[in-house]
Amino acid sequence: MTDIATASHAGAAPAARRPAGLLRHSLILAGRSLAKSARNPGAAVNGVITPAIFMVLFVYLFGGSVAGSTGEYLNHLFPGIVVLGAGLSGMLSSGLTLNIDMKKGVFDRFRSLPIGRSAPLLGSVLADVVRCAAAIALLFGIGFLMGFRVHTDAASALAAVALALGFGFCLNWITVFLGVLVEDEGAVTAFGFIAFIPLMLGTSLAAPVDTLPGWLRTWAGINPVTHAMDASRALLTGTPAHDSVLLALIWSAATFIIFCPMAIAAYNRKH
């Protein structure tokens, strides 16, 4: 906050509107958000623990019946868990954190500073990307202990992580928009959980799409999270990618293009 305040000389406001100024201020605010997480790590820990619990339960409860062995099932499940971790770590906290900060008047202080209008929102989402990266790193460690191994190469594994982080970054703008738009933090939390169930579980996460019932197969086939999970699976285990990588990138771009401007517009109307 001090770093931003020192920029309040005559030329600071025009500089804040430049891309470099916007990025610098967003990074400073992202650091503020991460510092808050260090003091209150509950949400960040939940973003790791929940996917890890899903992974352990699914592997040891369903591994033998679905894939014949827990090892084979872990190879199918883990790439989807990486996407789950990237989406869940931010999706259930981004909008709620912003909503609480706005109600406490924190964003009124931001408004008085010579920073880009979208810097508080972008800073919050960038902080979520860092938290998601930490969550994915821990999930890889847990997966390794359970027996998962990357079957491709380092470049493909890094591409899978980058794709999951990019997808999570874009997905978070949905809850950012809701967090700015609504007044009640309970509504933001409820939406996060309601959206989580069909988006994250109505996918190829637990079983191949062609083994699902007809109605669920239809939804999973058009669900953007399915494409992200299939792309991650192809990059980590070498299964055929088909068009999953391209579709995941298209869905990510479309989500960002739609919801980022809507979130910024809703924020500007309130402030």
Share of the chain above pLDDT 70, in %: 87
Does residue 255 register a pLDDT over 80?
yes
Question: Is the distance from CB of 16 to CB of 22 less than 8 angstroms?
Answer: yes
pLDDT 10s digits, 195-246:
778 888 889 998 888 888 888 999 999 999 999 999 999 999 999 988 999 9
Measured CA to CA, the distance from residue 29 to residue 35 in angstroms comes to 10
Residue 16's contacts (CB-CB under 8 Å, 6 or more residues apart) are 7, 22, 25, 114, 115, 116, 119
At 138, list the tokens.
């821990």
Q: Which of 41-50, 165-174, 255-264 is predicted with the least confidence, judged by mean pLDDT?
A: 41-50
What is residue 6's predicted lDDT score, i.e. its pLDDT? Answer: 45
Does residue 17 register a pLDDT over 90?
no
What is residue 10's predicted lDDT score, i.e. its pLDDT? Answer: 39
pLDDT 10s digits, 87-127:
766 666 777 778 887 877 777 777 777 777 788 889 888 98
Measured CA to CA, the distance from residue 64 to residue 76 in angstroms comes to 13
Residue with tokens 């804040």: 16
Measured CA to CA, the distance from residue 254 to residue 140 in angstroms comes to 28
What is residue 147's predicted lDDT score, i.e. its pLDDT? Answer: 93
Measured CA to CA, the distance from residue 85 to residue 203 in angstroms comes to 14
Does residue 36 register a pLDDT over 60?
yes
Question: Is the distance from CB of 109 to CB of 141 less than 8 angstroms?
Answer: no
Does residue 3 register a pLDDT over 60?
no
What is residue 271's predicted lDDT score, i.e. its pLDDT? Answer: 60
Q: How many Cβ atoms sit within 10 Å of the Cβ of residue 220?
A: 24
- Domain ranges across the chain: 2-270
Measured CA to CA, the distance from residue 15 to residue 253 in angstroms comes to 27
Structural Rg of the chain based on CA atoms? 20
Measured CA to CA, the distance from residue 245 to residue 266 in angstroms comes to 31
Q: In the chain, how many H helices and how many E strands?
A: 13, 0
* pLDDT range class, residue 262, cuts 50, 70, 90: very high
Residue with tokens 């494409």: 227
More confident residue, 69 or 46: 69
Query: Residue 1 has what DSSP assignment?
Result: -
- Best-predicted range by mean pLDDT (5-14, 21-30, 44-53, 67-76): 67-76
Q: Which of 28-32, 150-154, 167-171 is predicted with the least confidence, judged by mean pLDDT?
A: 28-32
Measured CA to CA, the distance from residue 168 to residue 91 in angstroms comes to 8
Residue 188's contacts (CB-CB under 8 Å, 6 or more residues apart) are 95, 96, 99, 175, 178, 179, 182
Query: What pTM, to 2 d.p., does this model score?
Result: 0.86
Measured CA to CA, the distance from residue 94 to residue 232 in angstroms comes to 23
Phi then psi dihedrals of residue 52, to 5 deg: -65, -40
Measured CA to CA, the distance from residue 24 to residue 259 in angstroms comes to 22
Measured CA to CA, the distance from residue 120 to residue 142 in angstroms comes to 33
138 membership: H or E segment, kind and range? helix 119-146
